[in-house]
Amino acid sequence: MALRAVLFDVFGTLLDVHSVASRAESLFPGHGQHLSQIWRDKQIEYTRIRTLSNRYVPFTQVTEDALRWAGESLGLDIDKAAVGLLMHAYTQLAPFPDVVPALDRLRAADVTLGVLSNGDPGLLEDAMHGAQIGEYFDLLLSADAVHAYKTAAAVYELGPRNLNHPAAEILFVSSNGWDAIGAQWYGYVGFWVNRNGAPAERLHTQTATGSSLDAAADFFLRSNLT
């Protein structure tokens, strides 16, 4: 079955969530990278807990709560001003170097492109604008529409519902192995962008895998030639 469209995860896949580390380092010398990592881990943990417990709050709130916890865990004095600066930095995340070249290739092939993100609409639009990549996408799909987070089936359902293609005709691209697998469990063709050479998830499901977004573009374009 030919692939008709591509959906991308955003935070960690298109945008480098750890590009906030430089701002964190300027505020808390010697702690920037560690703060960034704990912040990200707690953010993902909170999305899962809230979805499992049906206690949804928008991703912006999850992100701020995770930041405050991360700061406290390191004994840092993250006051209101620091929170404001770091949350603003989260709207200005840098795209990975492989993003624009891959998107250019797909756009040149007239491929329908979208994102499917945990980010709430305001944060998502600000981040895409800040990274100057918003114009590449035909649609921005937010988990906020269903008040749950990935890997809830209701989130992945947003793709087929809005693209008017079955999930099996959509490539879902994520740098999180668990997200690519969750999408494939739902019915998408999953692609894991494994930039850091991480081991495969032990979830008894294999997805297409490559080390860059360019590999994902290759996979999509090649699949439509066979």
Q: Is 65 a catalytic residue?
A: no
Residue 115, beta-bridge partner list: 8, 140
- Of the residues 9, 16, 120, 179, which is catalytic? 9
Residue type, 136: Y
Q: How many CB atoms are located within 10 Å of the residue 104 CB?
A: 12
Q: Is 96 exposed, middle or buried (0-12, 13-18, 19+ CB in 10 A)?
A: buried
Alpha-carbon torsion, ordered 127, 133, 139, 140, to 10 deg: -10
C-beta separation of 142 from 117 below 8 A: yes
E strands within 63-175? 94-95, 112-117, 139-142, 170-174
- List active site positions: 9
